[in-house]
Amino acid sequence: MKKIAVLGYGVVGSGVVELFYRNRAKIEKNTKTELDIAYILDLREFPDDPYGNRVVHDIQTILDDPEVGYVAECMGGVNPAYQFVRSCLEAGKSVATSNKQLVAEKGDILLQVAKEHHVNFFFEASVGGAIPIIRPLHTCLAANDISEVAGILNGTTNFILEKMFCDKMKFADALALAQKLGYAERDPSADVDGEDACRKICILSSLVFEKHVYPECVYTKGIRDISLEDVQLAQSFGCAVKLIGAVKRLEDGKILPTVMPMLVPFESSLLSHVNGVFNAVMVWGDGIDKTMFYGRGAGKLPTASAVLGDIIDEIKQTDTVLSQTWASSDNNNFVASMDAFTAPRCYRTTSCAPGVFAKVADAVGAKMEQTAENGCIIASCSQKTASVFADALKKEGVSVLAQIPVLED
């Protein structure tokens, strides 16, 4: 009999327990061992819960039990989760986590601690919920030189943007609906301001490029300023507006991780068709060209599925999986600044007379791709050219109301 402990009995933690007992026979058959959840760590009591008798309030109880070999961390946040997870690893217990903030901020340290104690620290559930993306990156796609990853990494913002697109709802109304349906928290800042997607792109960047990328190194802009007019202009250009988390290796070898709203063309990108609370991650590699991973990015049982998948994998391992790791970084000199960012740009403007957009584009050395009475798209250019174009429009009496990059395939 091998024992499992669950840290945190909220949405995800209770989902882990529920799914484990629902599929216990299948999980035991898969791992070829008898398993049980011995402890559930939480500050609260659960007298009416069928597993309330497993609840403990002191992490030391779990640390002191030599029969507990595997821990599911579902607490969220960095403190006290970091110290609890580190202590478990140091006690020779493998940990699986759904905690994206913990992995984004402390993943390099915890991976090293796991290696030193010949256990594993897995985190499939930290990015994309039920979507398998972490394991494929370091196993199935390991023969590829991966140059870029981009995706829709936050279901709440994707739901809001879909409602703005399909139902012509204003941002505030779409957000209120997301909160009513339980897709957005009372304080939605982590979602709508891009913090959640930032943590996830940090994890993907660190894994793909093998050096820890911290959240403060990522250019992050959320969807709070996206208006219904922006979404409608994008639609007229054959695009959807999506919050895109991306990282790309540049020609000089540096990487550029970003989170920002982008126009995604319907004809050239499958990401434009990802709607609702679903997530999708596109990966570019020299062997695969590109491939996309799609599914539910959050939720009680989808996330629990990923956590238990990691636990099952950890049970099968005899030592640390060294392919799922990255090095600490003392500085961020391997991360490029936004000055290196290039992309086509969509400008929403005040009304503009025919020919003015093209005239300004020619004057600043930009190439015009599409125009409308209240906006245009210019071809891929640098940040500097994008700013010069906007300034030149102002000199022609055309005010720029919004500027949004366009995702290139």
Q: Which residues contact 153 (CB under 8 A, 6 or more apart)?
A: 127, 128, 196, 197, 200, 201, 243, 245, 259, 279, 281, 297
User: What angle separates helix 155-166 from helix 171-180, to the nearest 10 degrees?
Assistant: 130
User: Which helix (H) or strand (E) is 35 found in, with range?
Assistant: strand 35-41
239/326 Cα distance (integer angstroms) = 36
Please return the burial class of 144, using the count of CB atoms within 10 Å of its CB with bins 0-12, 13-18 and 19+: middle
Catalytic-labelled residue, pool 93, 100, 106, 200: 200
Of 157, 140, 409, give the one whose Cα is nearest residue 271: 409
40 in Cβ contact with 5 (< 8 Å)? yes
129/86 Cα distance (integer angstroms) = 23
Of 174, 152, 142, 150, give the one whose Cα is nearest residue 161: 174
110 in Cβ contact with 81 (< 8 Å)? no
The single-letter DSSP state of residue 406 is B
386/129 Cα distance (integer angstroms) = 36
SS3 300: helix
Please return the burial class of 145, using the count of CB atoms within 10 Å of its CB with bins 0-12, 13-18 and 19+: exposed
Q: In terms of DSSP H, where are the helices of 182-227? A: 189-192, 195-209
Q: Which residues of 273-286 are buried (b: 16+ CB within 10 A; e: fewer)?
A: ebbebbbbbbbbbe
Residues in the chain: 409
Of 93, 123, 94, 119, give the one whose Cα is nearest residue 107: 123
190/198 Cα distance (integer angstroms) = 9
69/173 Cα distance (integer angstroms) = 47
**Known catalytic membership, residue 200:** yes
Catalytic residues: 200
